Amino acid sequence: MPERAWKFESSRPHQNPSSGKVLKVKHFQSFRGLEALPHLESRIIARIIRRSDCPPQGGQLAAFLGDLMARPSYLKQVRPSGRWYFQRPIPPDVHPYLGIKSKLWSVSLHTDSESVAERAVIKHIADTDEIIRLARLRADRTAVLSALPASERQQVDRAGGVDALLVDAKRDITSSHYVRNSLGVVDATLDPRQVQHDQLDEVQTMAWLAQLDEMVAGKAAILRKFGVDVPNVPSPKPEKVGLAQALAHYASASQMPPQTQQQYAYAVRRFDELHGALGIDDLSKSHLREFADIIAGLPAAHRTAAASLPVREAVNAATRMKMKTISAPTVLKHVTALKTLGKYAEGTGLAASDPFVGFRLPRVKLKGGKAKPHVSFTKDELSEIVATLERKFSRTSADYWVPLVAIYQGARMEEICQLERSDLGIESGTKIHYMQITDEGAEGKKVKNRASVRRVPIHPHLTSRGFPDVLKEAEGSGYLFSDLVPDQRGRLGGPYGKRFSRFLRKTVGIKDPKKVFHSFRHTWTDLAREAEIPEDMRLALAGRELRGSEAGYGAGYSLTSMEAWLTRITPLAAQ
């Protein structure tokens, strides 16, 4: 049996010493025998080109390929053509950086053979792996860039980005070494033929070198905040980790959602505008105290010209123009973000200690107590909403079903919008229709907390209207409501919520600002109380935390028991 030959093709950056340009140069490396394969990463195997037609041999190769094949296949066969497709959901945290509307990669593999498709799909998995990796790297860099002081952000922008700033820094370092070499400041390390300079006054030259070294150190300090190491920096000064670097580490380690990254980056940027980009070890509670006092005067409308000014100028502008300022909860949110970064920096060794430990803001009492943000619909309002749904929307649309499911099930908007076809089923034996509220399945699905994960019966009045059979009969797979499109944060309920608000105000005519989609959940809870459903059953149906010492015991209620109580809820006046 001839020995298998493999060739690995890769692309690596290479800098041209004369022009400073960074080019991508292809590298080829050949492997013979099975011993080289286990040292390659799983995505590299997709780039290995088989040179012979010999079938795979050897347990070592089989085990290695077995690990590779254990990953999701992302294969889908389309009927009736039988054609195989590569289909992979785009992770919500990656989607905003791709510049495309689709939430799914879908590519025809041009075959109806499953074995051929299994081989062809490996390249697409590797390509999308790389796209995801680069997008997440870009996301991390975006978070760091947002947190930089204005002067450092401008320096990155003027250079043309992080990679261009690195090229500039390396060019400056090369110039520094050339001049130092010619002056005998350092030992000769370069070809003397490359050193060209005029007979400058040595004092002036050393002064220029000091300025150049300071510029290089500044660029290197910025680049290190992005996790980019700059080698051979002349006389580098040890830099202390700041809040911006702590945020970059924390965002990457916790896979922080883009919106949360933006909020943290805003808090860090305002803090650095106030105090300068200090190291965490140089901070104290007094810095955070001053920060909390100052930002309380920031304008609440963040898109105004005043809000874009540096923090002190923005506060002064808001005072002069008598603008509404941010609320106490917003101040608390920003302070909490910085406290989280301080605690994370200490726990991970980025800082010697947490400078903000023990800091607390005084509790602010609201006049008249805490206002109730949302209120329930009346039964007449529910009847009008349902009648308008019947007149306006098709029974195959999310606009028709999402409010109805909320009315009868009391579920949260995002829980309903992210339902997949696989989340719905019929229990064998009892024949009870049920829905599974879970964060498992498609990438980006989320639940509020552990108690939100539940299996609950579908209200008989929904099944009598055709839910979910009408939707499951439609073409497609994955999400039940295929007409919903996610927002930049990956939430299906985001764009739908805005659309429902317009429907409620303009079409139905309910103008009360306290009546929103979440009012369905308030209404359901009121109706459940009126139906004398026991509290623990209400909590189980609605996905809220059970209370008391029994909360962590047992497997929960059966679908039969839950359905018996759920059917007692009659939201509409005439049922």
Write the DSSP string, 449-475: SGGG-EEEEPPHHHHHTTTTHHHHTSS
Would you identify the CATH topology of the domain 379-566? hpI Integrase; Chain A (1.10.443)
pLDDT above 50 for 311:
yes
Q: What is the pLDDT of residue 217?
A: 82
Q: pLDDT category, 62, cuts 50, 70, 90?
A: low
Look up residue 453 and give its two tokens.
């994960």
Of 245, 279, 267, the C-alpha closest to 311 is 267
In this prediction, residues 64-74 reach a mean pLDDT of 57
Distances (CA, A) of 82 to 108, 112, 275, 536: 11, 5, 64, 49
Domain ranges of the chain: 1-57, 72-134, 148-225, 243-347, 379-566
pLDDT for position 483? 86
**Greater confidence, 255 or 40?**
255
Which position has the higher pLDDT, 22 or 109? 109
Q: What is the pLDDT of residue 476?
A: 59
Which of 27-41, 121-135, 380-394 has the largest mean confidence? Answer: 380-394
The closest of 481, 434, 437, 483 to 462, measured between CA atoms, is 434
What is the rounded CA–CA span in Å between residue 559 and residue 264?
A: 43
- Strand, coil or helix: 32: strand
Question: How far apart are the C-alpha atoms of 292 and 288, rounded to whole Å?
Answer: 6
Kindly state the average pLDDT of the residues 265-280: 88
Who's near 350: CB < 8 A, 6+ residues apart?
241, 245, 246, 249, 280, 344
Residue 337: pLDDT over 90: yes
Please report how many Cα atoms fall inside a 13 Å half-sphere around the Cα of residue 383, on the Cβ side: 8
Q: Which helix (DSSP H) or strand (DSSP E) does residue 49 occupy?
A: strand 48-50
Q: What is the pLDDT of residue 145?
A: 77
Across the strands, what pairs with 84? Answer: 77
Q: What is the DSSP string of 364-406?
A: PPPTTSPPP---PPPHHHHHHHHHHHHHHS-TTSHHHHHHHHH
Helix, strand, coil shares of the chain, percent, nearest 5, are: 50, 10, 40
- What per-residue confidence (pLDDT) applies to 120? 85
Residue 220: which H helix or E strand, with range?
Answer: helix 202-225
Average pLDDT over residues 28-42: 41
pLDDT in tens, 395-447: 889 999 999 999 999 999 999 999 998 899 999 999 999 999 998 887 778 88
**Average pLDDT over all residues of the chain:** 77
Which pLDDT does position 426 carry in this prediction? 92
Q: What is the pLDDT of residues 160-204, one digit of tens each?
A: 887 888 888 888 877 777 666 655 443 333 333 333 333 334 445
The fraction of the chain above a pLDDT of 90, given in percent, is 27
**Confidence band, pLDDT 50/70/90 cuts, at residue 205:** low
Question: From residue 378, how far is each of 384, 388, 403, 416, 524 by CA, in Å?
Answer: 10, 15, 15, 22, 11
Which of 214, 265, 205, 262 shows the shortest CA–CA distance to 236? 214
CA distance 14 to 21: 8
pTM of the complete model = 0.47
Q: Which of 57-61, 241-245, 357-361, 434-438 has the highest mean pLDDT?
A: 434-438
pLDDT at 227 over 80: no
Task: State the average pLDDT over residues 30-56.
Answer: 40
Residue whose C-alpha is closest to residue 297's, from 265, 322, 272:
322
240 pLDDT higher than 50: yes
The pLDDT value given to residue 78: 87
Grade residue 475 by pLDDT with cuts at 50, 70 and 90. low
